Structure 1
């Protein structure tokens, strides 16, 4: 088997709603460039494949407004502070033009030495749409159709320079061989782009393409274009089914199954003993009033908190229609599976664990490593998109205590053997030769 792939999703102060209240530094993490840089360096020390940055394009009401720095700008700061870790930024195809996306990532490629990845998102939040001039967001089907065309245009722009186009011959007075740079002349349903791109390819040729989503449109987009998929799963059985179906879809699109890595989200809380890990989780819970935790849990599931009795099981009949166009199909399905599997537990117990969109483990480093190995060897995952309860100490604990266990078991690298993000994923990374290679 190929080594396990590990990205870490830097969710400001941490994925737990109480993480930001632990200190003044935590409270300011969402807009502190140093916070992201520190965590990128920790991830690089742990030899992780990449840092992953999600995005929200609107300010929420309430104490957690979703404010955060622009992922592309933040990735640029992290690129300057690291040398090997990959850097994945989310950019919406609903709001941004493909030429802008292609140029921005091509520029970041040179800034980072070929370590970037684009997480393709379609954006499902109506308030974000209103910030970009959409009184109503397009339907899910239209958003994914637009995304597919956008990814096609972006990848063609990245490929608009042939190998050898960058000459840089001072004696001959030729910087670029224009005969090897080609327009793409794209005219589609949503975009008209002539091209070519004005930025040459980086050492890895093009950025890694990442996609997240569980709808049919998301699966089709992933099967056709993605190098890695960030998926929401809560049980090994459901994860194996998703993994198998996605790999089959990849093959049907004429690609090798190993050309796409499936990475379920993993939320973890660590302690030297299980009791210590549980105590850490409870301490974080105590930072958030129970009513706020209940409201967050209900909002994640999509129900009115007034219908929930803390001391009774979750009322499964209150679950919304999974086809709602403005909710995540992947999260909806995972939440439904989680709630049905835990129908015997009270809402209070479920709320203590937090929203049910991703797989959660509270335990020792050995327990976390055991669970990861079971999913990995059992055909449920090629790796994981990690989410610490709180940063930076949660990530430090993973790097210092879980990574060595995975290494001893032969599941994870002991050193970086590539310099680009595509190289970390075992994908072809020299799609275009460097100037030095071409001249020599």
Structure 2
């Protein structure tokens, strides 16, 4: 018997609509396909994931090349450091056309887009995929993104979250302004819809004004699932308030257990049921016929990594040009305050190093950016990997995993062929999808149409 959605491990594929996976070196792997600008590439990945009953294919994204290091794009272009970035929502639609049950999530920024636009993009995707869409809510990271949108500098960290909170209220409001049963489609009477079941939003706030009514009716799952990845103090509060699926980075199982419990408590403090929020850390899984074979595979992958990978990605994530620092030079208090990107990385490096003012070498060593050691890496046979995943899942460290790829699409093909059947045999992972929508498959309730009036402060 297949476990219920709340008992089953959540599995998410961590994808990039670009020339490499989350691991920059993946494009250099001899088995990685090079047709990453074709629909066939993404549709083949989608079919693999759906065959393996993955809940969701989730695309990370940035709105600029990672060119903060040395304020130059030359090295990242020549070394293929996430140098090609397609629009993830468009890619998801091609994947949706090739699948029936796989959830489809894309990253869109609250910092540089408008709420009505984002609401319509994802509501449309949700309808066209019959209730399988998810939006990964981000606040963007750095000045390169700001410059692409005509701004001289990126908003300060807390201001980005102030804007994001109001952005979410507006989007959620628009998604809920069409009630169930509003569309009649009565050709005999000529009445298309019941206007008493369609509402204006009439939002006026500090950051946004948006009138409505919205132009896209509700989908079979009500509205898209919300993904969030905030782990800094303010980001964590934001995730606890809004997230349905929370993507995290935990360095090891002990930190995961502590952080998981603390975050669930934070969700409860927001007045939400902690069981309604799924927490999934990023991991790599390298599977072989034996542990020794898998170790050899990992060594071969690690040999593909170049120094520019980490330097460019870390500069991008921190919104700080690391070319200005020597390896052994500590960051001053002023410089640490100037880090305005992913504060969670800064917090993690300071905690792990035990140093108040870490050096560039500390940042590279403890962040492990651009390497397979950035996330916990499960290595070994299918049984070895299932053992490690089972320990995390059953000991209060997570509700599932976001699986990153060392090469494409081989990581997912190997995992689906070897590890998924073992997880299913142990009763840890569902044997089939529980329903037609992403919410059903994640065990999430369908939001009520008028929730927005009560919860999101709409007028």
Q: TM-score over 0.5 for the alignment?
A: yes
Please classify the TM superposition score into its range, dividing by the shorter chain length. Answer: 0.7 to 0.9
Mapped to 1, the partners of 2:31 and 2:373 lie a distance apart of 28
1:322 is displaced (CA, Å) by: 6.3
Counterpart CA distance in 2 for 1:269 and 1:296 is: 25
SS of the residue 1:332 aligns to: helix
Matching residue of 2:342: 328
CA drift at 1:112 = 0.4
Q: Which residue of 2 aligns with 1:32?
A: 38
Q: RCO greater where, 1 or 2, for CA within 8 Å and sep 6 or more? A: 2
8 A Cα contact 1:126 1:136, kept in partner = yes
Q: Is contact 2:232–2:343 with CA below 8 Å preserved after alignment? A: yes
Unaligned runs of 5+ in 2: 1-5, 67-72, 356-361, 450-459
Q: Trace 1:124-273 onto structure 2 (pairs within 5 A).
A: 124-273=141-290
Among 366, 373, 377, the residue aligned to 2:390: 373
SS of 2:62's partner is: coil
Following superposition, the deviation at residue 316 of structure 1 comes to: 10
Please give the per-residue CA displacement for 1:153-177, whole angstroms capped at 9, x wherever unaligned: 1011110011221111111211111
Deviation for aligned residue 1:380? 1.2
**Matched residue, 1:64:** 80
Q: TM-score, normalised by structure 2?
A: 0.84
Displacement after TM superposition at 1:329 (Å):
2.5
Query: Counterpart of 1:8 in 2: which secondary structure?
Result: strand
**2:284 and 2:372 in contact (8 A); partners too:** no
Structure 1 CA distance for aligned equivalents of residues 243 and 378 of structure 2: 27
Change (3 A) 1:292 1:274: farther
Contact 1:233–1:334 (Cα < 8 Å) also in 2: no
Q: Which runs of 5+ in 1 are unaligned?
A: 309-314, 433-440
**Offset of 1:405 from its aligned partner?**
1.3
1:199-255 CA-to-partner distances (Å, cap 9, x unmatched) read 100111100001012112211211111101001111112212221121111111111
Q: Do 1:3 and 1:413's aligned partners in 2 also have CA atoms closer than 8 Å? A: yes
Pairwise CA distance, 1:72: 0.8
User: Once structures 1 and 2 are overlaid, which stretch shifts more, 85-94 or 253-262?
Assistant: 253-262
Shift of 1:113: 0.7
Scaled by the length of structure 1, what TM-score is found?
0.87
Contact 2:32–2:410 (CA under 8 A) maintained in structure 1: no
- SS of residue in 2 equivalent to 1:362: strand
The range that moved more, 199-208 or 18-27, is: 18-27
How many angstroms does 1:10 deviate by?
1.5
Identify the residue that residue 21 of structure 1 maps to in structure 2: 28
SS at match of 1:18: helix
Name the counterpart of 1:104. 121
Check the 8 A contact 1:229/1:262 in 2, yes or no.
yes
